[in-house]
Structure formats: C-alpha cells, structure tokens
Amino acid sequence: MLNANKTLFWLALALLSVSPTSAAFVGTNVPALPLSLSRIDSLPAKVRAGWIEYLSRSQMNSLADRKFFDDEARLNGITNTISPPAARGSGRIALNNPPAWYSSGEAQSIAQIIVSFQTPAGGWSKNLDMTQHRRAPGELFAHGNASNFATPSDLDKPADPNWNYVGTFDNGATVTQLRFLAKVIAASGLNEKAAYQKSFLRGLDYIFASQFPNGGWPQVWPLQGGYHDCITFNDGAMIGILDLLLDVSEAQEEFTFVTKTIRQKSSAALQRGVTCILVTQVITGNKRTAWCQQYDALTLQPASARNYEMPSLSSGESAGVMLFLMRISDSTTNITTAIRSAAAWFEASAIRDKAYRRTESNDGRHLVDAPGSGPLWARYYEISNNVSIFGDRDKTIHDTVEEISRERRDGYAWFTDAPQNALKKFDRWKK
C-alpha cells in the first residue's frame, strides 16, 4: 500500500506557495514526470532491465505507427492528411443492444470501421465516430484531441497536434472497441469472424504489451510523455482494462471463443493489475483510504494530470476501483481489507445536505445548502488532511470551489454521487 508519510516531500512540491493572506489558496499544481531512460537508470538494478525493455518496446511501436502512416501517405501520393470524424466518448459504439443485433448489417459495418482505425500497435484513439466510414489512406488515427484552452505551458499541450492520443485507454477507447468486436464475433457466421478475431487478438496483445512491469497501465501507449505516462485510474482507464481481462479470463458471455492460452495470459495480467491496485491504495495515519487519479509509473507517488487535476484522493475513480474489486469472486484478505477500508473512507468523506447547481444569481454553479440532498463527494481530497480541493486552468489549487473560475466551475465535475452506488453494492457484498 502507498503510505502517505512517504509522499510528504512530493506533496510539498505540489502544494507550494501557500498564501499567507487567503486560506482558500492552497498551492500550485506541478507537472507529472514522463517515463524516461534517465529516470529508469536510478532504479535498483534488479528491476531496471524490465523497465528498459518496456520503454524500448514503446519506442519501437511508436516509430512503427508513424512509419506505417508516412509510408501509406507516400505510396498513395497524399500530401494533406485527413482528419477523421469526431464523436464524444465511446464513438457511438453500442454495447447494450440485444445479442441478435450484432449480426446485423449495421453492426458489421461498425465492426469493419473499427478494424480499419486500429493502429499498427493494436490500439485505438478516443472520441472517434465509428459509424461514418472506414479509415481511408492518409486519414489520421486520431482527430487531434487538443484542448481549446491550451497555452504554451499547458500540461495538456501535445508535442504534435496531429499525433495525439494515438492508442489510448482514455474515455473507454480500445476497451470499447474490443468489447464490440467480441459481441460481433459471437453473433457472426464462421466466414465473417476471421478478420474480427484477428483484430480482437491484436487488441489484447496491445493491452499485454502496454502493461507496466509493476502491473499498471498508462493512459496513452505507445508512451506520449507527460502525465499520459502515469498509471491512470482517471475516467476508468485502468479499471476498464481489468474488467475486460476478468471477463476474458473467465470466458464470460461473448468471450467464449477465446482460447485457453489467451485466457491464462489475461488472468496473469489481471493478477498483476490487482497487485498494483492494492499497492497504490493510499495510507494516511495508518489507515487505508482511497486511490488517486494518476500515479508516477516508477515511484508510485500521486501525480498530477491537466492543469486543474492535482495529486489527491479521487472519489469517483476510487468508487470504480472498489466496484471492480467486489467483482473478484475469490477475494484474498488483502482485497477484502482494501474494499472495507475504501467504504469507510467514503462514509467519512461524504458531504450531506448540499447540492452543486446553478443559482438565481446566474453566475454559474455553486455548492449550496440543500437540506436532505446528497450524499455528495468532492472529486478531489487532499491526501494529508482529507480536505476537498479544487484546481483551475492557471494551475492554482484552492480549498473551495467558489474560488475557481466560472469556466472551470461549470465545465468540470467537481462533485459526484458515484460512491453511493459503490456503497450500496458494498452492503450486499459484505453479507
């Protein structure tokens, strides 16, 4: 487990410049460090080789992805790249239709589009509309995904706007495509399955290849640098992978076609991922608490992401972790303890009789008194004292949501009720 007492120096850097005049200003966010050879060289010799091999594998896949695209453009005489159609979230990929629908012409068409947008490394980008057309020569694998608010010093500014999130687990990418392909494979005739199965297995190999030696997964792979290289629970990235691997390893529903060898490989990756979850549960004052959105891949210390996403305990992501752990049928003592500790932290951190909503003042959303409402949880809690904290685009960190800009108050989910669902399932699980 991650002991908060060992992170004081790191957190001091993240919460520096404390204002002597305003209790609302907590500090300034600092950037996460990318995975690099120089950082790997500082590791103990017994683990260094595995990380060097991992970084080399990432670099080779990155070069291969770009070479494929450049060669394709040259062979087809293309000088101007094409941006693919965009769609928020899962790219209009339906996972809840009746099983028979996945044998329909519409489902087959989407599956063919999915296969066409798979990167040479085996993953997919995010926010792609998978209902429009198959990828054409010279069409980018990702449509940019750049922030409209990025500044030269922005923590989310990509090194190459045309090559951003090319292969990612963010916003359900890659996992959603694999789940859809599995449903189509299960519903298709023998003659239609081969191409989809090949794509599915390449996608699983992508997941295996991108897993860190310590069991975690980055947000983007091949590695892109910055916070994208961190172990990422944010937006369910790592938990989405583990949920998929659990289903594959147990040959659940549409995954019965997967071979025993692949199931065993999925099970091994799953176990390493669970170990990573247990190690990264934060301990404060000798008590296990919750999880952070991101962790440095090498040090396992809490890490920042975008300007307004600081190192902190994250309630929404922790709810997802807890729900996943409760899915494991043969829970060990360590897993059971992690679940019970997270539930206790949720109970202690709940905000009651409050609502986060627009008011009559018409100046955006505010946290207001609302007797009987809730419970709510802040998205972020400071690790050392469990105080709610909030970030802004200028990287400042505050202990009240009222202190941040209206654009961020209205444009980000600072409060959530997701832990309530986890606690309800916990009541059934513990019986």
Structure-block tokens of residue 257: 């076609």
pLDDT of 22 higher than 60: no
Fold of domain 1-32+282-431: Glycosyltransferase (1.50.10)
Fold of domain 35-229: Glycosyltransferase (1.50.10)
Please report the DSSP string for 399-428 in residue order.
Answer: SSGGGS-HHHHHHS--EE-HHHHHHHHHHH
pLDDT of 248 higher than 50: yes
DSSP 136: P
DSSP 257: T
Sign of the torsion angle spanned by Cα atoms 153, 230, 168, 314: negative
What does the pLDDT look like over 125-155, one tens digit per residue?
Answer: 999 999 999 999 999 999 888 787 878 889 9
**pLDDT reported for residue 17:** 40
- SS3 for 148-206, per residue? CCCCCCCCCCCCCCCCCCCCECHHHCCHHHHHHHHHHHHHCCHHHHHHHHHHHHHHHHH
Give the contacts of 247 (CB within 8 A, at least 6 positions apart): 253, 255
pLDDT of 256 higher than 90: yes
- Domain residues of the chain, as ranges? 1-32+282-431, 35-229
User: Which of the two residues, 189 and 4, has the higher pLDDT score?
Assistant: 189
pLDDT of 9 higher than 60: no
What does the pLDDT look like over 334-344, one tens digit per residue?
Answer: 999 999 999 99
Structure-block tokens of residue 121: 């490394």
**pLDDT reported for residue 360:** 80
**pLDDT reported for residue 69:** 96
**pLDDT reported for residue 2:** 64
What does the pLDDT look like over 266-292, one tens digit per residue?
Answer: 999 999 999 999 999 999 999 999 999
pLDDT of 331 higher than 50: yes
- 171 in the Ramachandran plot: left (φ > 0), alpha (ψ -120 to 50) or beta? left
Nearest to 311 by CA among 298, 285, 283, 292: 292
**Residue in this structure with the two tokens 């922005």, named with its chain if needed:** 154
pLDDT band at 10 (very low <50, low <70, confident <90, very high): very low
pLDDT band at 1 (very low <50, low <70, confident <90, very high): low
pLDDT of 255 higher than 50: yes
Structure-block tokens of residue 168: 């990612």
Nearest to 16 by CA among 430, 410, 399, 397: 397
Q: What's the average model confidence in pLDDT over 33-61?
A: 97
Q: What's the average model confidence in pLDDT over 253-274?
A: 96
**Residue in this structure with the two tokens 């929404």, named with its chain if needed:** 316
Nearest to 172 by CA among 107, 244, 260: 244
pLDDT of 426 higher than 50: yes
**pLDDT reported for residue 150:** 76
> Are 1-32+282-431 and 35-229 the same fold in CATH?
yes
Residues in the chain: 431
Residues carrying an active site annotation: 171, 306
Nearest to 276 by CA among 217, 236, 316, 320: 217
Specify the pTM: 0.93
**pLDDT reported for residue 89:** 72
Per-chain mean pLDDT for the chain: 92
User: Which of the two residues, 10 and 285, has the higher pLDDT score?
Assistant: 285
